[in-house]
């Protein structure tokens, strides 16, 4: 039986990165949001009518999900695309009369799926663990799911909750989801519900209970806005410059992305930002009044660029609510700590197959001189043009065969 591998692989290469000075003037077209793109692809797959998605993300994760949804194979290898794996676990469970094996990279097989799989089972799904219990790969037999009431721990992963919400309108009895514990990454849940609402879905969210009745998605063409998570690396770059005028295109001033809070955070780290005719412009403000403690419960993806920025500015901040970061592409807190220690000796930075490691550490060459980044192509997971965009900003990128 043919196994369809749906992740794009690139030649492993390292690169040297430097900048001739610390003055940056550039205009950058930011990548589309993969978070929004991935949600829209699932809505599109569930919708009975066709609609177009404009400006879809060209990230490796989104391409993997799109290929999986269009695949005719019943064996799907999603590689390292975590969000795609979670969303497909729910979606494939609703494909009545079809059976699937859903698998991924070695790292994916270490990332727990219990909370989502067990919740889907309670809603009537047929899911088996093919290797280690509560971990990928999964055997899924699609059914017309009954739905009903289910509880899920909000501290584990917001992606589990979004995966359930996206299929909720297709469940016979709808969904009454009770979230227990503290809810991590709440803006991503709001994003999911906001997009569903755009496509005609009504819901209620009272206290810790979200209710969605059985109903149909209504087709409409949609355009994906640029990624605020990608913008965070440009805020980091701006913080390290002497002078800058960085124009970022494609962002929404009224964004549904939680990482838009990067504007407020970096205003306290010497970076002023303002929207002018739809373009976000970054300049220096020389204000430094960052708090001594910072809770990242709602925006954990900002940890790496913030931590690297504070290190480069020689500022110490105590972060809290970082528990979900241990189950990402790598243990992000441990990986960042390991690599920051290298600035006492060598400047060869490991990326741990994590796109955000490469993009967070590269700007530190503005403070510490030339760096070497391992596996430079890891950025294809979310921001394929990252190195090209850095060159537009005057960075010198020298690929090295690995």
Catalytic amino acids? 301
With CA atoms as reference, report the closest residue to 143 among 159, 162, 166, 167: 167
Alpha carbon distance 374, 182 (integer Å): 36
Q: Identify whether the C-beta of residue 68 lies closer than 8 Å to the C-beta of residue 103.
A: no
Rounded to a whole number of angstroms, the distance between the first and last alpha carbons of the chain is: 34
47-78: b (≥16 Cβ within 10 Å) or e: beeeeebebbbebbbbbbbbbbbeeeebbbbb
Give dist(CA 225, CA 251) in Å, integer: 6
Provide the 10 A C-beta neighbour count for residue 372. 17
Instruction: Provide the 3-class DSSP secondary structure of residue 191.
Output: helix
Contact criterion met (CB below 8 Å) for 363 and 236: yes
Other C-beta atoms closer than 10 Å to the C-beta of 174 total: 19
């Amino acid at each position: 039986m043919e196994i369809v591998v749906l992740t794009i692989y690139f030649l492993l290469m390292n690169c040297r990165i430097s900048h001739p000075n610390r003055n940056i003037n550039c205009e950058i077209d930011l990548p589309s949001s993969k978070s929004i793109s991935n949600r829209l692809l699932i809505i599109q797959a569930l919708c009975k009518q066709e609609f177009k998605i404009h400006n879809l993300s060209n990230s490796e994760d989104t391409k993997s999900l799109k290929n999986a949804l269009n695949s005719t194979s019943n064996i799907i290898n999603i590689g390292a695309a975590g969000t795609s794996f979670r969303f497909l676990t729910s979606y494939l469970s609703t494909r009545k009369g079809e059976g699937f094996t859903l698998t991924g990279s070695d790292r994916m097989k270490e990332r727990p799926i219990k909370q989502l799989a067990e919740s889907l089972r309670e809603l009537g799904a047929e899911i088996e663990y093919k290797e280690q219990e509560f971990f990928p790969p999964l055997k899924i037999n699609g059914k017309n799911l009954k739905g009903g009431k289910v509880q899920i721990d909000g501290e584990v992963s917001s992606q589990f909750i979004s995966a359930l919400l996206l299929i909720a309108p297709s469940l016979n009895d709808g969904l009454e989801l009770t979230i227990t514990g503290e809810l991590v990454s709440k803006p991503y849940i709001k994003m999911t519900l906001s997009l569903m609402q755009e496509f005609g879905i009504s819901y209620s969210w009272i206290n810790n209970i979200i209710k969605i009745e059985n109903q149909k998605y209504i087709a409409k063409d949609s355009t994906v806005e640029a990624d605020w998570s990608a913008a965070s690396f440009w805020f980091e770059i701006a913080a390290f410059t002497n002078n800058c005028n960085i124009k970022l295109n494609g962002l929404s001033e009224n964004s549904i992305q939680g990482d838009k809070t990067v504007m407020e955070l970096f205003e306290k780290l010497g970076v002023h930002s303002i929207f002018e005719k739809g373009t976000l412009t970054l300049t220096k403000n020389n204000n430094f009044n960052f708090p001594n403690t910072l809770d990242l419960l709602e925006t954990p993806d900002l940890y790496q660029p913030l931590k690297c920025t504070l290190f480069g500015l020689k500022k110490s901040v105590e972060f809290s609510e970082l528990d979900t970061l241990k189950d990402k592409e790598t243990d992000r807190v441990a990986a960042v700590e390991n690599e920051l220690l290298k600035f006492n000796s060598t400047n060869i930075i490991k990326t741990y197959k994590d796109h955000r490691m490469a993009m967070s550490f590269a700007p530190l060459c503005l403070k510490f001189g030339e760096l070497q980044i391992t596996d430079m192509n890891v950025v294809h997971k979310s921001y394929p043009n990252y190195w090209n965009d850095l060159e537009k900003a005057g960075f010198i990128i020298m690929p090295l065969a690995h």
